[in-house]
Amino acid sequence: MRPHRGFAVAAAAAFAMAAGSACGPQQLDGTLVLEFPSWQAADESFSAWWLELIDAYEQENPGVEIDFYQVPFDSFVAQQTTRFAAGDPPDVVHLPSSNAVAFATRGWLEPLDERLAETDILQEWTPLQEQMKWGEDYYGVLLLGYGYALFYNEALLAEAGVDVPTSPDELLAAAEAVSASSDDVFGFGATTVQNPDNYTELTSFVVGGGGSWSDPDGAITADEPVAREALQQYRDVLATAPPGIQSQQRNELFFNGQIAMLIDGPFLLSEVRGAPAEVRDDLKVAAPPFDVVPGGVSNGLHVPADADPETADAVWNLIELAARPEWQERYTELAAVPAPRQGSVTEEALAEVPELDLFGTLADDAVDIFPTAPGLRQEYGRVGDTVASAAVRLFATDTTVDDVARNLQRELEGVGHGR
Residue 8 Cα to chain centre, angstroms: 30
| Cβ(284)–Cβ(257) below 8 Å | no
The neighbouring-strand residues paired with 294 are 367
pLDDT at 416: 57
Nearest to 37 by CA among 98, 84, 101: 84
pLDDT at 216: 85
52 Cβ neighbours under 8 A, 6+ residues apart: 330, 334
How far apart CA 128 and CA 135 sit, in angstroms, is 16
Q: Which residue type sits at 226?
A: V
In the chain, % helix, strand, coil (3-state, to 5) comes to 50, 15, 35
pLDDT at 21: 40
155: enclosing H helix or E strand:
helix 154-160
pLDDT at 24: 60
Return the ∠ at Cα 218 (arms to 81 and 121), rounded to 5°: 60
How far apart CA 20 and CA 96 sit, in angstroms, is 33
Q: pLDDT tens-digit profile of 309-356?
A: 999 999 999 999 999 999 999 999 999 899 999 889 999 999 999 999
pLDDT at 267: 87
Mean of per-residue pLDDT scores for the chain:
91
pLDDT at 36: 98
Helix/strand/coil for 22: coil
* pTM of the predicted structure, to 2 decimals: 0.80
Q: pLDDT tens-digit profile of 90-106?
A: 999 999 998 999 999 99
Give the number of residues written for the chain.
419
pLDDT at 415: 85
- Residues of the chain with confidence (pLDDT) below 50: 1-22, 418-419
Q: pLDDT tens-digit profile of 358-392?
A: 998 898 888 989 888 888 988 888 999 999 999 99
pLDDT at 406: 97
